Structure 1
Amino acid sequence: MNHELLQKLAKAQTDEERSWIVTESLLSTLSPELAAAVWAVVVPHWFNAEILAALRPELLSTSSQLYTELQALPFVEEFPDRGHNVHDLTRNLMLKHLRQERRDEFITLSQRAVEYFGSTNEQPETQIEWLYHLIVVDQEWEGGELWDLAQNWDNNFRVAELESLITALLEQVAAEQVATPAKAEVYYWAGKAKFRVYRATEALELYEAALAFYRDIGARLGEANTLQAIGILQENLTLGLEYCQAALELYTQIGTKYSQSRNLIYFTSEILLKLGRQKEAVDALNRAIDIAREIPYQIFVEDATAKLREIQENHDFHSQNHEFH
């Protein structure tokens, strides 16, 4: 270790500074081509020769050789079934430097990663990696692709995939690489992921963060969805009803009939029944049926009708004011 390097280390005040000094010193010993390859492969979570070529097309002719050389570096390790990756400590240090000091290069590499993983996103891991880079590159992005993928996995109880997706996206949020609209969507789905594994306290905290972001940008549909999600989590039924009714009011103002009917059938009426307010629950279900018929959405009509019959059978709840539509 040379004298200049020792002096720098002696002056460093934090472990991160010392780690970066050592990393920078090692990088300075590499050939320009190998150094360029290292800076590229810290952007994705894993890499192989094909990914390296996609990120550094100017090195296409030597990508296989460079991939072999990368594997010999002390901070590169095997990534099972996918190739290799840069060790987390080194990767995080280099990413921080890229984001702050070489921003244009970082965005270029991230855009190439979007193009590569977007063209091969048939597997969950590549879909996650694609969104991980997309959320950085497109600052106008409002989370539509995230919503579609997360909703699909949530509906099919693919909890592990959903949690992996959120973990990856929260990495970009923590690095302050994400605009507020997408950040709100990430926190909303992070709450959903925690809800799926019965971690209500963590889910509630994430929903509250999402709600603040949605309100900050005036995203009323996102605000309504989150209010409803918070209402479902409340142990206090009266408070839960208030949240669900606030969501319903927003859905009504926005004019989303699907969400209005769904709210009335599966959330508002359920809480009203638990509170023993059967008449209001019946009124909510009848209203839901009317709205569902306007859409039209027959499944909601059938579900609401079934619940009305169940109320009538279980509570012997008959009166002229509660007739079915």
Structure 2
Amino acid sequence: MTEHILAAERFEADRAHLRAVAYRMLGSLSEAEDAVQEAWLRASRADVGDVGNVTGWLTTVVGRICLNMLRSRRTRREETLHVQVTDPALRPRDGGDPEEEALLADSVGVALLVVLDTLAPAERLAFVLHDMFAVPFDAIGPLIERTPATTRQLASRARRRVKGAAPAATPDLTRQRAVVDAFLAATRGGDFDALVSLLHPDVVLTADRFVVPTPEPVVVSGSHTVAKGAMAATGRALFTGPALLDGGVGLAMAPQGRLRLVLAFTVTEDGITEIDVIADRERLDGIEVAVLDA
């Protein structure tokens, strides 16, 4: 019987792949590590003698674990959605490395993680396993108790959410993307002069009362004042990435894959003229977030 037990070395060969699957399912590095560890505990007790594709089998094991975690998350609807963006909850759980989490979010795409977080658990599983890891629908269906055809429909629906509605027909969408990317790079790098160069001299930034927080919205103006404020937000910038926000290019901040804040920009030939910083959950829920084309 022991010859049919999965060896630890064989599991370790797939650990990086399994972590990648779990991270895209859960959006949190610490939760992904928990899911992979649970997968090992289950796999180490299973008889794999009849398993032809061990990697595929382990992928479905992790998928099922993540599905249960997502369902549990939705039933309690995450208290973290209601904390302020300045809270320590921005940091990964269990003392995780925020830089590692930020790098991983960048590699996957913050906007993608945000959209995935809006999907129902079954939709997320179908999309992630099929579209991102090429698991066939007939292998995914049993995990969510759906037929392959219904599973295909779930993945298709999720795919439409990821892509979003067609962006507004504007010739400067590419320029918007370049300016927003440059803004994020300058903020992360602490390059004050580069930030000022992107801003119109009379730029106006409005932050709703949930951003700071304050009793009333905060309004500041002037390129130097706005740039100084951005310099104070370099920590937030680690978990921020470009996204389509209602068809325009903006930035979404999503520590652990959950949307906390967006920056909507007005970009003209003279630079960034307006920045709207939104953390109000009701307003965030009304914004269509989609993934920008590469």
Give the TM-score category using the shorter length.
under 0.3
Which of the two has greater helix per residue? 1
Give TM-score, length-normalised by structure 1.
0.26
Which of the two has greater strand per residue? 2
